[in-house]
Structure 1
């Protein structure tokens, strides 16, 4: 006797003979929508229960036609958790799923491939299973299909299996037709009803690991335990904002519960897999995966085609035997060997981006963004519960990886675009050295509107400008670029700060934007020390005097640019004592939860001394969670006494012009000779040639070489347009490291010969600078201080 024959169907649902007269009061109550709905649920439940037991399936489901007839939707799903969650919630009638094919072909439909979709639509469901489905048709009505799902290692469906499933489906169709005749609506609900149907708990094969979860002998306990790890993974990935967060979450919620030895997350790019992060004893796994070709015949490459691969690590074939027949330690398998004769199980899970793990819409292809790889200490099996959970975990990881990669790409694009709108290098101004810093908001992925500029004028004036366009959008960056260009043009024409802001406000009103902008303009007369300040709703600049006192340079606040007010912009003049440091800054430097910028300028100024680069680095640290862009422009007024003014010189080198290195040495030799510092020439010539060569080779941009001699020291700067700092590494074991390393003697010579040196951002590039003391003068200065 078959299971379905040994279990009676609910009484009164076999036919219509027991139904009371619909015209009687009792009949009207009996035929109410609520009662018929309960009967429909009971009928579907019984069919799912019997189908799962009859065919020893891990899950069974009834799919019913949607009210509009355009798709099939799951009405009732039965099985053991978490396998029940792997079935799609809906599917189009012309989809290649067995449930849709059975209804379309009016016959039993078998599906032996884990992925029913064609190659252009790969990655729909990477859980290894086999499916059988029968149509539900009776008395001229098409209701849907009855589907069972069982693991691949359960064997093929026999003719007896198909006949048994057909009998259950035919009986269910007759009952549905009877309910329909009595007025019931045979349609799926908004969500499928899930019911537990427990089979025999899987046991480990002799000699293979048996991972015990839950309470032994309690059906469903192991699956519910795994579902907790899935829920924790979902919660933590929703809060992940970096790839480090994703890898740490995978270690805690995937690697640890599965008792894996190692984990690696990879991403596909340029035809290869690249390791995003790894954990555990993963050295062999990383070496096998990082940079491996997607076209290679390896498990990871095969997983990229949409198939989850499970290698048992024993002599028997893996659970996807039709796809993989490789032994651990075989170079083509990608499964590392732990030395000796030990064999290791492994799992290769495709990371499918933009996919829901329960309800799979068929509107488009879900991209496979990478592979999650797990390796284990020895042979082990992968029971259905583990495979289901691992598949769903891979889906969640794939969506998180894709989201973070897209966010990072947008952030890099926005930051790069904004940096291209900022000055490549700041001009050299006599008696007014400057430096600038820019840090994008870490909480925003779009471009911001902060900008700064230093504009030299023909009458010994230098215009310092720092502004902020509201918002973090591409429009903000575009408006910022237009304002910076207009401010530079008006300043070059000789307009003062107030007139400059007024003209810029008029220009902004003609740009057709509703964005506002704030701005601070300081025109410094380097001959007299007079600084004229004009504001457009921006914080006033700060002045740090030589005695350490910090005070704002007051000026009328005026209105932001873009309000088009009738009140003219006004300015205020101040006289700067020699040694005064000016600080222009945007809101991001002075966030509410950080120390007051005035106090920080006073405190950091004492430690930085006269070095603007060190002071800028200390004032603008990379605070985690920065909510707004931060721009900082520093300038030091050195006084109007020409006899005490530093001597400066600049030499420009065009990109890739390696022949100019010799000319750079001659420039250094000539300047030092003219300044009476020929004793320093040999060392500085050697350092200059090394740094210029490195900049030309690695930065690929124009290079500025600058010399500045003050009373007791000489400063040499090499500026380029590459923001990546130099790496003082003599050699690298990888091509990637070699491409970014500073080869030769450059930084080692600087470290050995210079009194002090560092590298710092400069505009949208960087500056490598060093200082060498003038013999005798510096020693005398130290003795006088002592």
Structure 2
């Protein structure tokens, strides 16, 4: 009878050294499969020592999903893992087993993470080869008793002895950069509890784990394409909430010491109000999960109330609170609610945590991207003119739309520059690219054009000097530009282009055509040919449209035809509503996510009045937060309406003006501009500010939930009841609230 080994097992002489890598891999596979089956484990890993002797690397991983995909591939020998500890100390190490309760030794305490780790060293003949590690579910397979530990040690010792000939003959170890995977289906034959959703096909080994991992893979693919917080919420809803048969989902993000609802589904509004903005340090499951690394799972309401006696009833009967982390930092909590009581199987818990890891990283990326885009967009908008200059003879308005967030912020701009001697310079430009650099270059070019125009240079000279400036800047970006200088006294216009689309003009008779201006080269391009000026004379009633190519992507004939049609469609009665025309034009631009470029447009209508025509206008400005300006507004309205012979309309217009101006001063953190225009059949009032929120009449001081972003004011009810027509139009840096009142009895 052969002598016994030190661990009680019969002694077996070591086999002859393996002749190739395949035989060596068979040694690992035999030991791994035996350990998994003998000790009822989910996963097993053979870690081998790297040549440096400082790291362990997974050479082979065996078992079933999902645990097989969650194991670390590499760890330092001095790391506090069970595998490195076992290899370092030469003893069997068990981590993560639950504590047995003294009052009920047959049951184990529920622990947040469902797996326990048992590892034995691979030592033989004075050599340390690594460690053999098992992942087990104590609630299913029982605890690692002393007898089980001896069996694990015996399997590890036999593998180590089999590795000795390999080391003695200096045969190369197989490449362990990518661990080999060994399927060993055992645990999937166990059926889930009747209280939990069935994953996969019953009695089909591997189906449960594959179904779980399929959802994990699909979630990962969806999150890779997520660029906004909303995208992350949609992915969580479709690939976490629905597959787990949850009835509700709340995705919270942490900020300023509070939890904010970033997205939700299936949650009552009153519960959302309680959760949104709650303290991240409050004694609630969501707050506690945020600061922990493990999920908080409550299979029924009794267990929830045992831990949180003050928990509100949200209509659910089971809950899962998953911490979301990125780079080790908490970023939020994913809260799932279930309509029925249910147990959470260990496999489900493991995949939940894998999904939570993906959600946390994606949420952090999306928020960072949104902050960067908001910063760049704020910079871009801040460089646009807050108020467009115009004259009584030349009415202007502008629009700006940023590209979708995935495209980045661009460098489009527009400007209206007042010049001496009743002249005005209209400019639209576009810096290539979509980045903060594009916005910064745009700001420099806009300042240059503004300065050169006010030095009384003509359009061609303005473009020449600006092109030289751009060529000298520390950038490789180019830009296009359209510059129009017009004398409103006689309609004489000078136009120059730098690689930009030519302006469109609608003639008083309704014809629409593009000005025949030489395109020339973009700004920043060295050229021996100077920029050329095109001269024309516009008749009163002519309408100019300057725009960037984002309005007509690729200068497609279809898009350009649509713009021409809109310009030609309006009759004389509709032409006075320049804001409405600008809204219709900007609405033709592609919508996100198809809008890959910024869009800027500038409309200018030449309205030089004939000596017998009635057409007067005036303007005033009020400094931001200057509520005394409301009194000046009333005086301004009385004085001008009285001098224009519009006394019968003074009371109504004065009241409406004071309400709109008050609303703007309260809500908009900007100066406010008031423009009053007198037409033969109506009076038009425009109030411009830098708040993009649309005005919504409301009898309540608090905003309604569906219009939370709107600017509410009770004074707008007065405007709505007194004005013949009114509306609001967004511009590059804010909005224009306009109203009109028809003349009464021809007065």
Q: Establish whether TM, by shorter chain, passes 0.5.
A: yes
Matches within 5 A, 1:526-541: 526-541=488-503
* Residue 356 of structure 1: aligned partner: none
Contact kept, 8 Å, 1:83 with 1:384, in 2: the verdict is: no
Are 1:253 and 2:253 an aligned pair? Answer: no
Contact kept, 8 Å, 2:449 with 2:466, in 1: the verdict is: yes
> Paired residue for 1:89, among 69, 73, 79?
73
State how far apart, in whole Å, the 2-side matches of 1:728 and 1:137 are. Answer: 80
Q: Deviations over 1:237-280 (max 9, x none)?
A: 33334433333332222222211111222211111222222223
Q: CA deviation at 1:463?
A: 0.4
Contact kept, 8 Å, 2:289 with 2:296, in 1: the verdict is: no
State how far apart, in whole Å, the 2-side matches of 1:46 and 1:405 are. Answer: 48
State how far apart, in whole Å, the 1-side matches of 2:336 and 2:271 are. Answer: 9
Q: Which moved more, 1:628-637 or 1:745-754?
A: 745-754
Contact kept, 8 Å, 2:324 with 2:359, in 1: the verdict is: yes
**SS, match of residue 304 in structure 1:** helix
> Paired residue for 1:597, among 530, 555, 560?
560
Contact kept, 8 Å, 1:411 with 1:445, in 2: the verdict is: no
Q: CA deviation at 1:296?
A: 1.9
State how far apart, in whole Å, the 2-side matches of 1:257 and 1:594 are. Answer: 47
Contact kept, 8 Å, 1:585 with 1:630, in 2: the verdict is: yes
* Residue 194 of structure 1: aligned partner: 181
Residue 111 and residue 742 in structure 1: after superposition, are their counterparts in 2 closer, same or farther (change >3 A)? same
Q: CA deviation at 1:303?
A: 2.1
Q: CA deviation at 1:16?
A: 3.8
* Residue 612 of structure 1: aligned partner: 578
Contact kept, 8 Å, 1:262 with 1:282, in 2: the verdict is: no
> Paired residue for 1:268, among 254, 257, 264?
254
**SS, match of residue 700 in structure 1:** coil
* Residue 456 of structure 1: aligned partner: 418
Q: Give the TM-score normalised by structure 2.
A: 0.89
**SS, match of residue 680 in structure 2:** coil
Are 1:682 and 2:651 an aligned pair? Answer: yes
Q: CA deviation at 1:700?
A: 2.0
**SS, match of residue 454 in structure 1:** strand
> Paired residue for 1:574, among 536, 559, 577?
536
Are 1:431 and 2:393 an aligned pair? Answer: yes
Residue 255 and residue 493 in structure 1: after superposition, are their counterparts in 2 closer, same or farther (change >3 A)? same
> Paired residue for 1:175, among 148, 153, 162?
162
Residue 555 and residue 196 in structure 1: after superposition, are their counterparts in 2 closer, same or farther (change >3 A)? same
Are 1:346 and 2:309 an aligned pair? Answer: no
**SS, match of residue 167 in structure 1:** helix
* Residue 237 of structure 1: aligned partner: 223
* Residue 709 of structure 1: aligned partner: 678
State how far apart, in whole Å, the 1-side matches of 2:156 and 2:611 are. Answer: 100
> Paired residue for 2:505, among 521, 543, 548?
543
Q: Which moved more, 1:433-442 or 1:369-378?
A: 369-378
How many residues matched? Answer: 719
Q: CA deviation at 1:523?
A: 0.8
**SS, match of residue 437 in structure 2:** helix
State how far apart, in whole Å, the 2-side matches of 1:479 and 1:517 are. Answer: 9
* Residue 104 of structure 2: aligned partner: none
State how far apart, in whole Å, the 2-side matches of 1:700 and 1:176 are. Answer: 75
Are 1:758 and 2:744 an aligned pair? Answer: no
Residue 113 and residue 441 in structure 1: after superposition, are their counterparts in 2 closer, same or farther (change >3 A)? farther
* Residue 310 of structure 2: aligned partner: 331
* Residue 356 of structure 2: aligned partner: 394
Q: Deviations over 1:693-719 (max 9, x none)?
A: 222221122111221112211111221
State how far apart, in whole Å, the 1-side matches of 2:49 and 2:285 are. Answer: 38
Q: Deviations over 1:643-675 (max 9, x none)?
A: 436322222111221122222111111111111
Contact kept, 8 Å, 1:329 with 1:337, in 2: the verdict is: no
Contact kept, 8 Å, 1:524 with 1:532, in 2: the verdict is: yes
Residue 471 and residue 455 in structure 1: after superposition, are their counterparts in 2 closer, same or farther (change >3 A)? same
* Residue 102 of structure 2: aligned partner: none
Contact kept, 8 Å, 1:709 with 1:715, in 2: the verdict is: yes
Q: Which moved more, 1:616-625 or 1:566-575?
A: 616-625
Residue 302 and residue 498 in structure 1: after superposition, are their counterparts in 2 closer, same or farther (change >3 A)? same
Q: Which moved more, 1:656-665 or 1:303-312?
A: 303-312
Q: Which moved more, 1:520-529 or 1:385-394?
A: 385-394
Contact kept, 8 Å, 1:605 with 1:615, in 2: the verdict is: no
State how far apart, in whole Å, the 2-side matches of 1:563 and 1:194 are. Answer: 58
* Residue 122 of structure 1: aligned partner: none
Contact kept, 8 Å, 2:506 with 2:567, in 1: the verdict is: no
* Residue 368 of structure 2: aligned partner: 406
State how far apart, in whole Å, the 2-side matches of 1:603 and 1:234 are. Answer: 45
Q: CA deviation at 1:491?
A: 0.9
State how far apart, in whole Å, the 2-side matches of 1:198 and 1:444 are. Answer: 43
Are 1:663 and 2:629 an aligned pair? Answer: no
Q: CA deviation at 1:466?
A: 0.7
Are 1:382 and 2:366 an aligned pair? Answer: no
State how far apart, in whole Å, the 2-side matches of 1:164 and 1:105 are. Answer: 18
Residue 399 and residue 456 in structure 1: after superposition, are their counterparts in 2 closer, same or farther (change >3 A)? same
Contact kept, 8 Å, 1:93 with 1:100, in 2: the verdict is: yes
Q: Which moved more, 1:369-378 or 1:307-316?
A: 307-316
Q: CA deviation at 1:129?
A: 2.6
Q: Give the TM-score normalised by structure 1.
A: 0.85
Residue 67 and residue 492 in structure 1: after superposition, are their counterparts in 2 closer, same or farther (change >3 A)? same
* Residue 626 of structure 1: aligned partner: 595
State how far apart, in whole Å, the 2-side matches of 1:244 and 1:732 are. Answer: 29
Are 1:64 and 2:48 an aligned pair? Answer: yes
Structure 1 spans left out of the alignment, 5+ residues: 20-29, 115-124, 318-324, 354-364, 779-786
Q: CA deviation at 1:328?
A: 8.9
* Residue 79 of structure 1: aligned partner: 63
Q: Deviations over 1:576-633 (max 9, x none)?
A: 1211110001110111368332442333552453311111111112623111111101
Structure 2 spans left out of the alignment, 5+ residues: 99-110
Contact kept, 8 Å, 1:731 with 1:738, in 2: the verdict is: no
Contact kept, 8 Å, 2:693 with 2:710, in 1: the verdict is: no
Residue 283 and residue 509 in structure 1: after superposition, are their counterparts in 2 closer, same or farther (change >3 A)? closer
